[in-house]
Amino acid sequence: MKNILVTGGAGFIGSNFIKYMLEQHPDYMIVNLDLLTYAGNLENLKDISFNPNYVFIEGDICDNEIVNDIFIKYGIDTIVNFAAESHVDRSIGDPSIFLTTNVLGTQNLLEIARKFWAIYPDNYTCRLYRDSVKFLQVSTDEVYGSLGSSGLFNETMPLKPNSPYSASKASADLIVRAYNETYGLPVNITRCSNNYGPYQYPEKLIPLMISNCLNNKKLPVYGNGLQVRDWLYVLDHCSAIDIVLHKGKNGEVYNIGGNNEKTNLDIVSFILKKTNKDNSLILHVDDRPGHDVRYAIDNTKIKSELNWEPTYKFEEGLNLTIEWYLNNEEWLKSIFEKSKK
């Protein structure tokens, strides 16, 4: 059995991943460590809260004592690090928390993993799982910077982050790489394109637009709305991480993309049509400082080496997402009520 520490597991991608893994690997133990900041929500996981192979612990990845105790109590042999401050606008307003959580928090996890998996060779985790311990860092395509009208991000490109958020994630990636090169800690780094799907906090583009449509509110669009993103349905992301955990080559980076390049206006127009609203709700606002023009992932490596493919077509995934929010308006209301406190 793998004993997996999932950090940030009450957030959007983390909660989907935990449920995916318990379904695919019912004999695995999942320990979810989450600080329950504004984007963490245990409602995302209420349907598995009584699963005997799932444990939730409220805490900070920067807290050495909590992480150390989790390793001792649960014999952790795998870490999947989702824990991160992730909203670009918030990083522009206050970069400090992004550096603390995304950089120092990641380093704390790495150091404790190194202690248990390498320094103490007689530790029972190492004895049982010597060939399968792994630290998987969940990163983002934003670490590569911005693309022009052509080309794709591949794993060999230099990191050129343009926001405090993406700079903090790039820094964390480099620290993960250093622990692999310096100490031999088994690691992988995954860099995904923009995720969408159920349980996403409604500050992000797709759930914000859906929520505003439901409430007949204006849909704020940065600048001309022609910024391009490659969209990835969250369950495709979960399946990719699962494959990297089990088959990824030590030390390698894997880009995960959905091959779905869309402008922000494309997304907004689709949601308006699906919710029977018209374009009069669109409100163009001043563009974000340092706004990257285009992201697009080359996922050739993970497809060719690990035999992974995205399974959800964009319209299918977005229809499922819109339907989920339409059927879970109470979840949205609870998020907004929480944000007012």
Active site residues: 141-142, 165
CB 109 within 8 A of CB 257: no
Q: Report the distance separating Cα 175 and Cα 137, nearest Å.
A: 10
Residue 286 amino acid letter? D
d(CA 277, CA 281): 8
CA 328, CA 317: separation in Å to the nearest integer?
Answer: 16
With H, G, I as helix, E, B as strand and everything else as coil, classify residue 35.
coil
Q: Which two tokens stand for residue 263?
A: 């402008």
CA–CA separation, 86 vs 162, rounded Å?
14
Render 59-127 in DSSP notation, one character per residue: --TT-HHHHHHHHHHHT--EEEE------HHHHHH--HHHHIIIIIIHHHHHHHHHIIIII-TTSHHHH
